[in-house]
Structure 1
Amino acid sequence: MPHAEADLIQTLQDAARPLSGASHDYDELLERIGDARFVLIGEASHGTHEFYRERARLTRRLIEERGFTAVAVEADWPDAYRVNRYVRGQSEDGSAEEALEDFQRFPKWMWRNEDVHHFVEWLRGHNGRHPGAEAGFYGLDLYSLHRSMRAVVEYLDTVDPEAAARARKRYACFDHFGENPQAYGYATEYGNREPCEDAAVTQLLELQRREAEPSRGPLGEDEHFYAEQNARLAINAENYYRAMFRGRDESWNIRDSHMAETLEALVEHGEGQGRRPKIVVWAHNSHLGDARASEMGWLRGELNLGQLTRERWPEETFIIGQSTHHGTVTAAGDWGEPARTGRVRPGLPGSLEDVLHQVGGDFWLDLRSPDVADGLRDERLQRFIGVIYRPETERWSHYVHTRPAEMYDALLHFDETSAVVPLDATAGDEAEEVADTFPFGQ
């Protein structure tokens, strides 16, 4: 081993804080988080049990001890809002599994898994014990184009049938293309079809002009907020599916910008209700690790949610990445295929995963510590596994050059990890809203 690499390993071993499952594991990390209002907790794959488990452990402490008011996740807005109603005791769902039933789009296992199920039940129990200080559960993503349009119409049916009729007429523009938004994107980019952007924008503006009215639904003014977010999502999703045919970089930026807009809307909504929002964000490392410190940013001009959150709230944002060296993962071989358990290959020599493996064991690192930051500021390969894992082309499919100490404020490493357990026996399937993904399903 080169002398410099040996020095780095020693530095990291001295700085590593063990993760043993003990109740005090994250005491020092909570101190480092301090007064941050936005704690972004990433993951190196969408199918690793330890990432979900530890993210939930840390989130529970942030809610219980630091007064965090919401969990915002890389999931579709309407699906997650059903969970939000459940954890607030404002739905007819009888269990967390029922509340998670709207997650039917591929990849189901990403949110319909045992770890999320346990956290949702915990959150409902916590909220029941703390009336007036409940924490919500929200989705940040934009794939639910048709479901979100339907949700806008359904809301208006309860408060203003005439407005609902106008919304149906506007959204009928999308009916020419069926339920596949990729067909819409292709037809409007190449098939001489006029885009439906103006209709979607007009609908949002009409909703915004309305005061939040009492609703026949269970949440009152929250129902108006829910509908308005669905209308905003329809605009951004329409733009996203057209951008897919103009270039991957553009569509990626539209998607992460939408996530940032949704996060900001949650903040504004919470402040309007007289609360000071403090939000935990759950998403992939590729969305939360600052894109300016990876070739996503410096080569492709891509931005992401982590970058945008740091730029909007620079003193109040704390980003945590997660990593593994080897183990198993729940993933698909291609988009829409059933979930399967696959073996994660050991990290490539010289990669971030390889370096952390040499440190040994499970631990977390404070990347704001000067010695650690100096050691992990240089470019290294870092692995990103989404919902698709292709080990046969792993170097090109899943590794990206990054500067880890600039991407994250802290890093959790679990040397050997295991596959997340889906709630469904088969978890591939429905692909109603088709996604453009990079790298492979993030």
Structure 2
Amino acid sequence: MPFQEDPVLCGKHAWLKRAAPCESGVLNVLRELLDKRLELTQHDGDEFFDAEMNARLTLSRLMQQRKGGKAVVWAHNSHVGDARSTSKGELRNELNVGQLCKEEWGADCSIIGCGTNTGTVAAADEWDEPMQIMKVNPSRADFYERLTHDSSVARFLLDLREDHTGSELRKALLQSRQERFIGVIYRPHTERRSHYTDAILPEQLDAYVWFDESHAVQPFETAQPHEPPCAGETYPFGL
């Protein structure tokens, strides 16, 4: 409730404080749901699953619910690439969804990353700031993006799996290089410090989609209405 007028503040508070004020309440609801699992699933399994996922949003739980199903997760390279093959994971012990999925499903999980040399991006220069269209700096020398830019191929899909990559190319790609991560925030003036990290591309990704010049997405809307979420968005418990 304290954040219904500005949900972004909830995420910001959770990041800065390492926990949100409502965390204990959410956990209590989840425990109660799990305690009543048998009773609720006998009554209406789908409704219980919807309620549980409001309290615990995990991909593995979703896959358990839909046996034999497949899922596509769309996120930035920094989230979907296996963190163990980047300095963020190796030096700072950061986890991400890509690493967790690889640990859970191994070769059944395919990670596809994207890269660009230059162009435009829709982002903000600070949290809580409005979106703007920014020009992306050209890639830096001896980084992965410059390596692919120097191929002079405007766009391609590169299969990075060991059995699908030539030995010489794979040897070159296995050298640790800097990789650029652009997300919700982009700061061109501090790009080298704030948007590059060490990575080993073939171990981080299974495939790489390259666009030498990319263009910012066109949003359906640029701002959410200034009103609290409606009942349908918070069903059944407003979590």
**If the length of structure 1 is used for normalisation, what is the TM-score?**
0.44
Q: Is the 8 A contact 1:379 1:402 kept in 2?
A: yes
Name the SS of the counterpart of 1:329 in structure 2: strand
Contact 1:384/1:399 (<8 A) preserved: yes
- In the other structure, the counterpart of 1:320 is 112
For residues 422 and 306 of structure 1, what CA distance do their matches in structure 2 show? 26
Gaps of 5+ in 2: 1-5, 229-239
Question: Which residue identity is paired with 1:267?
Answer: M
Is 2:94 the counterpart of 1:268? no
Match of 1:311 in 2: 103
**1:240-262 Cα deviation digits (max 9, x unpaired):** xxxxxxxxxxxxxxxxxxxxxx1
* Paired AA for residue 208 in structure 2: L
1:224 and 2:48 matched: yes
SS at match of 2:56: helix
Percent identity between the two aligned chains: 43
Residue 188 (structure 2) pairs with residue 391 (structure 1): yes
Q: Is the 8 A contact 1:294 1:402 kept in 2?
A: yes
- Does the 8 Å contact 1:294/1:403 carry over to 2? yes
Q: What is the identity, as a one-letter code, of the residue corresponding to 2:121?
A: V
What is the aligned residue count?
A: 213
**Larger relative helix fraction:** 1
Counterpart in the other structure of 1:202: 28
1:365 corresponds to which residue?
158
- Residue identity in the other structure for 2:158: L
Where does residue 377 of structure 1 map in the other structure? Answer: 174
Contact persistence 1:213–1:224 (CA under 8 A): no
TM-score, scaled relative to structure 2: 0.79
Residue 212 of structure 1 is matched in structure 2 by: 41
Paired AA for residue 129 in structure 2: E
1:13 match? none
- Whichever residue aligns with residue 288 of structure 1, its letter is V
Q: Counterpart of 1:348 in 2: which secondary structure?
A: coil
* Correspondence 1:347 to 2:139: yes
Root-mean-square deviation (Å):
2.7
Cα–Cα, structure 1 residues 395 and 311, in superposed 2: closer, same or farther, change >3 Å? Answer: same
Instruction: Choose the corresponding residue for 1:401, options 198, 218, 231.
Output: 198
Measure the CA separation in 2 of the matches of 1:422 and 1:338.
Answer: 13
Give the SS at the match of 1:277: coil
Q: Secondary structure in 1 aligned to 2:33?
A: helix
Q: For residue 3 of structure 2, what is the aligned residue in structure 1?
A: none
Deviation, 1:427, is 3.6
Could you tell me which residue of structure 2 aligns to residue 413 of structure 1? Answer: 210
Residue type of the partner of 2:104?
Answer: R
Matched, 1:332 2:124: yes
Say whether the 8 Å CA contact 1:337–1:428 is kept in structure 2: no
Please tell me the residue identity of whatever aligns with 1:375. A
